[in-house]
Structure 1
Amino acid sequence: MNILFILIIAMLDQITKYIAKNTLAGKNISVFKDYLELTYVENRGAAFGLFQNMKFLLIVITAIVIVLMLYYLLKSKDLNKWMRISLILISAGAIGNLIDRVTLGYVTDFIHFYIKDMFDWPVFNVADICVVCGTILLAINILFAREE
């Protein structure tokens, strides 16, 4: 069941990226004026544009992390539901971005959150949301989960 959830989330990520690539290229769509827009960006680096044009290194590191997380997820029978959910989200997001990196040479980003004249977050995608939310959930679980 864990693998099914991972595949569904990774597939949803790929579908949203496909739609973004085919509808947003060359234009921005304002969702909430001065706060949120949809815009097409090809990210050739990692989070926040770090490690630009280091495709091979990013692919290798991501693949290793995915394999380790999947192994842990599938072999550990005593994981609580929050640990499972966090690993599913992180794995699905990593797979979604890995698919882009391997097939396109870049990651498709399209969600741009900002506060006009104050704050400008880098453009991101559904896979990034999964990785960030999964990582936050994992940290909370590690810090505050009780032994049963």
Structure 2
Amino acid sequence: MSRDEARIGRLAVRRVAAVGLVVLVLDQLTKRLAVQAVDRGHRETFLPLIDLVHVRNDGVAFSSFAGSPVIVALLVLGALGALTVWFLRNRTRPLAWLATGMLAGGALGNVLDRIVEGAVIDFLKPPNWPAFNLADMSIVLGMILLVVVVERDHRRTQGRGSAGAQTQRG
């Protein structure tokens, strides 16, 4: 690894920590505000097509594995472990730090809820969709960005490979 790559890698790690911390703090702050604004089980009009609610989810996405805290913990730990390994191997990729920070911050926000509250606090409720929170939004956007980062790198690598193949054939 060159000196520039090492510097970029260290900067990327700091960026992941900063993004993760911002997501974690904003997630916890918005959850506390929602809990103060809406009684558990109630609904308040917030924006067109979005209500404020106060519900708890002890599962993962769409309440999957609700009532199975060991499975939920293993899934979350496995996902965070895989994300960490991927990031450490790819930390010099453009925007890998942003996707990783968003995913880690969102996951940690929900993990903190599980530890402190026994379940994740969800408070945003669109029609015909389960309630969610800022951590969930960060996880979804982080996954979309991660796919873009990986796909962009894959296409760039494929482009180099086919250009090399064209050169060898000609």
TM range (shorter): 0.7 to 0.9
- Distance (Å, rounded) in 2 between the aligned partners of 1:37 and 1:63: 31
Shift of 1:75: 5.8
Q: Which residue of 2 aligns with 1:112?
A: 125
Secondary structure of 1:29's aligned partner: strand
Match of 1:94 among 82, 99, 107: 107
Unaligned runs of 5+ residues in structure 2 are 1-13, 161-170
**1:69 paired to 2:83:** yes
Shift of 1:74: 4.7
Q: Which residue of 1 aligns with 2:164?
A: none
Are the counterparts in 2 of residues 59 and 101 from structure 1 also a CA contact under 8 Å? no
Letter in 2 for 1:111: L
Structure 1 77/90 Cα, relative in aligned 2: closer, same or farther at 3 Å?
closer
RMSD: 1.9
**1:36 paired to 2:50:** yes
- Distance (Å, rounded) in 1 between the aligned partners of 2:35 and 2:138: 20
Letter in 2 for 1:48: F
Secondary structure of 2:65's aligned partner: coil
Secondary structure of 1:61's aligned partner: helix
Secondary structure of 1:51's aligned partner: coil
Bigger shift: residues 100-109 or 67-76: 67-76
Match of 1:133 among 106, 129, 141: 141
Task: Point out the structure with the larger strand share.
Answer: 1
Whichever of the two has the greater Rg, that structure is 2
**1:79 paired to 2:93:** yes
Are the counterparts in 1 of residues 103 and 139 from structure 2 also a CA contact under 8 Å? yes
Q: How many residues align?
A: 141
Taking only the aligned residue pairs, the percentage that are identical comes to 26
Secondary structure of 1:6's aligned partner: helix
Shift of 1:71: 4.7
Are the counterparts in 2 of residues 10 and 127 from structure 1 also a CA contact under 8 Å? yes
Task: Point out the structure with the larger helix share.
Answer: 2
Shift of 1:104: 1.5
Unaligned runs of 5+ residues in structure 1 are 115-119
